[in-house]
Amino acid sequence: MPSDVASVVSSPASGHGSPPGAPAGRQLVAIVDDDSLFRESLSINLVEAGFLVVEFPDGADAVDYFSKGGTCDVILLDWRMPKMDGPKVLRWLRASNFDIPVIFLTVLDDEIYEAAALDGGAVDFIEKSRSFSIVLKRISLIGGRHAASGEEPPDVEQHIGKLELRHDCKRASWDGKQVNLTVTEFDIVSLLINKCGSDASYREIYDLVHGEGFIAGIDGEGHRVNVRTFIKRIRRKFRAVDENFGHIENYPAFGYRWRPE
């Protein structure tokens, strides 16, 4: 087994029932990867962890599945594949109005690829050198961040100035116009709103996305670049409906704040 595969799948979930990190219901995870050994091993781990799995050997097969009405709860997407690579699959999904959370799972570890993935609408970017427990935790965080953290979920609807957040469907609107945020972007905005008037640190925002204590980059400071990329995309989406939007303020070397009206 290649080293990049072994590191992800060497720690399968064990035991019976719902292991730590597994969803309360059986969520469907799509694996899109041209490495058959990797797909099989990752699929076994996910099934043992309580998930349902559908596999695709390349991006074209995945697109065919979704174009014919197929769906899933999370997509684990490789970057480099024949016929149709991961970024092209992601662009097709977003252009076709599929808002399914996409996690890139790849051997590429340069920050330029991570930034490109997040800028394209992916919710996460995980190196295949990470353990399976990290993959499992990231999947569980997507659909259950409040449950995973032990926090009480906010009210279904939340209003502050022109902003409306619908927590039941993870939808945001600004002055009555929908803002097309991803699940991760929505959760970042929600964090800023719930700390309105005070600061959210880079680390706090990063932990919301990736899980507490996750080390980013060789020197542990890569989380700043990651968070800046998310904030840049969020600002751009709000400015698409209001060119004068300026409510997310940066505090250099610390983090961000939502400025109330």
Provide block-wise average pLDDT over 10 residues at a time, the chain (261 residues): 36 32 65 90 86 91 94 89 89 88 75 64 72 80 48 67 84 89 84 86 82 51 77 92 94 87 72
Q: Any idea what the Cα angle at residue 148 is, between residues 9 and 123, rounded to 5°?
A: 65
Q: Which CATH code is given to the segment(s) 154-258?
A: 1.10.10.10
Residue 156: the pLDDT is 72
Residue 213: the pLDDT is 54
Each domain of the chain, given as residue ranges in start order, spans 3-143, 154-258
Q: How far is CA 135 from CA 9, 21, 53, 57, 140, in A?
A: 10, 10, 14, 19, 9
Residue 117: the pLDDT is 63
- Name which of 114, 59, 45, 116 is nearest 88 in CA terms: 59
Q: What is the DSSP code string of 37-70? A: HHHHHHHHHHHHTT-EEEEESSHHHHHHHHHTT-
Contact in structure between 101 and 138 (CB atoms under 8 Å): no
Q: 20-62 pLDDT, tens per residue?
A: 343 445 788 999 999 988 888 888 888 888 888 999 999 999 9
Angle formed by the axes of helices 202-210 and 222-239, to 10°? Answer: 90
**3 state DSSP class of 226:** helix
Residues 170 and 104: their CA atoms lie apart, in Å, by 21
3-143: CATH topology: Rossmann fold (3.40.50)
